[in-house]
Amino acid sequence: MAESILISGARIVTENGIIQNGFLGMKDGLISYAGDKKPQETFDKEWQAPKNSYVLPGMIDIHIHGGYGADTMDADFSALDTLSSRLPEEGTTSFLATTITQQHENIEKALVNVKEWTSSSPQADKGAELLGIHLEGPFVSPKKAGAQPKQWITPTDPDLFQKWERLAGGLIKIVTLAPEEDDDFSLIRYLKEQSIIPSMGHTNASSELLAEAAEAGALHMTHLYNAMSSFHHREPGGIGTALACENITAELITDGIHSHPLAVKLAYLAKGSQKLIMITDSMRAKGLQDGVYEFGGQKVTVRGNTALLSDGTLAGSILKMNEGAALMRRFTDCSWLDIANMTSANAARQLGIYDRKGSIAEGKDADIILTDGQCSVLAAICRGNAAYISKEVDWS
């Protein structure tokens, strides 16, 4: 059972505003108090927040392949152990393990591994929570494959998906697919019926077809701007559809590489902070040195902040969530409330777990991060457990 903790003296970013010099109490893995007066109840530990620090809801990364040497497709417990234990360093307290287009056998091994790890690993209670699976591919367009290996792209097959759904134990939460490859939107309609998010991505569809897919239930867009039909004033494509349709929520990689800073700002101005979900789309090289790595069975060269296939195609990112938040603030001058929405609340709403995650409110999971004014992570608490404390914080 998690110790009870009281954090005092921080700026607490809640659903309704920022509590200045506030108090945040956590008991039994849940948030028990958030206010501007010290609570009367006692706590096992009382921690003073560093000056000018902020408490934010823990970040939720719904599109992450890997990092720190691990990848979802490794299909072993150690990979998920690594991600769960290391992600709190960057402010991520829960995530969706994301697959890539591969041989069916490899995808199935990864799905089963997530199911078994989630139900049996002791690590699952200590670090970032694995909320489920984001199945990216293989039902995508070869014309917009990006870093998805073309040789393993598969025609959309609802029966095959249902097999994978069973293997994953119901843990598939998002499916990225190209709607033009989904005859009569049969898979999109099935996903909607099962409360699984159909996400339009790696698609070359027209704006008209995308609008029809959205009506069928695909109200989510995978990594806006990337691997989708381009914008033209006479054919807005995937980009224009995502920006203009108010009911579509769009993922966004805010590293300034996958999308120019002005494109990031355009997305923010068009969608607002209520309809954007910041993601990393990171691969195993995140947190490691420059070099050559593997992603989806392909060699990826990492130099600086960029990961590229041999033909120059971007192959995921090495972005950390807190770095993305810092860049988002720099590109858009958005508020801390906006950051809380785009890194946590919107993802929780999409996944249907806003009753327990996504904001700082009494009764919700004690998933919180402490950050300075530059988005550096000073501490991360996952379901009441201190998962990461930086050397800059004296909470011994």
CATH 3.20.20.140 placement within the chain: 59-351
Q: What is the mean pLDDT of each run of 10 residues along the chain (396 residues)?
A: 90 95 96 95 93 96 98 97 97 98 98 95 78 97 96 96 98 98 96 98 98 97 97 97 97 97 98 98 97 93 93 95 98 98 98 98 97 95 95 81
211 is in an annotated binding site: no
Q: Known binder of ligand: residue 16?
A: no
pLDDT reported for residue 238: 97
Q: Is 214 annotated as a binding residue?
A: no
Q: Tell me: domain 5-56+359-389, CATH 2.40.100.10, correct?
A: no
Residue 339 has what pLDDT?
98
> Is 356 marked as binding a ligand?
no
Query: Over the chain, what HEC string results?
Result: CCCCEEEEEEEEECCCCEEEEEEEEEECCEEEEEECCCCCCCCCEEEECCCCCEEEECEEEEEECEECCEEHHHCCHHHHHHHHHHHHHHCEEEEEEECCCCCHHHHHHHHHHHHHHHHHCHHHHCCCEEEEEEEECCCCCHHHCCCCCHHHCCCCCHHHHHHHHHHCCCCEEEEEECHHHCHHHHHHHHHHHCCCEEEECCECCCHHHHHHHHHHCCCEECCCCCCECCCECCECHHHHHHHHCCCCEEEEECCCCCCCHHHHHHHHHHHCCCCEEEECCECCCCCCCCEEEEECCEEEEEECCEEECCCCCECCECCCHHHHHHHHHHHHCCCHHHHHHHHHHHHHHHHCCCCCCCCCCCCCECCEEEECCCCCEEEEEECCEEEEECCCCCCC
- For residue 3, the model assigns a pLDDT of 85
pLDDT, tens digit (0-9, with 9 covering 90-100), for 6-27: 999 999 999 989 999 999 999 9
**Is 333 a catalytic site residue?**
no
Range(s) within the chain of domains with CATH label 2.30.40.10: 5-56+359-389
Q: Which of 281, 338, 365, 367 is catalytic?
A: 281
59-351 domain in CATH 3.20.20.140?
yes
pLDDT for position 126: 80
Is 285 annotated in a binding site? The answer is no
